[in-house]
Amino acid sequence: MKIEETTQGDTTILKLSGKLLIGETDELRDKVNALVQAEKVQVLLDMAGVPYMDSGGLGEITRCYSAVLRANGKLRLTNIPKKIRELLVVTRLIDVLEAKD
């Protein structure tokens, strides 16, 4: 997975590219942890470049959401591919995670 970071106002945008798979989410975890440590807790995950996500990827996004929320921030998802949106709907995480298109 590849992560491209940009900033728009006080929001940090992380553009994700590649599959989010179990055992391959360390880069996302490290990036979000670094943002929380730097008190950059308005985070937008751009999912347009993520063709597939398994339970490990879903768990990592949930963990990142919790870490940002504990730091009094907000993590949102945008440009969610149809298959990943369906996964979020089935797991009911679409109701918890702020998702916009």
Q: Among residues of the chain, what percentage have pLDDT more than 90?
A: 81
- The C-alpha atoms of residue 14 and residue 46 are separated, in whole angstroms, by 6
Q: Band the pLDDT of 13: cuts 50, 70, 90.
A: very high
Looking at CATH, the fold of the domain delimited by 2-100 is given as Transcription Regulator spoIIAA (3.30.750)
Residue spans of the domains in the chain: they are 2-100
Please say whether the beta carbons of 21 and 56 come within 8 A.
Answer: yes
pLDDT digits (tens, 9 = 90+) for 51-72: 999 999 999 999 999 999 999 9
Model-wide pTM > 0.85: yes
Residues 6+ apart with CB under 8 A from 55: 22
Contacts of 53 (CB under 8 A, 6+ apart): 19, 20, 21, 61, 84, 87
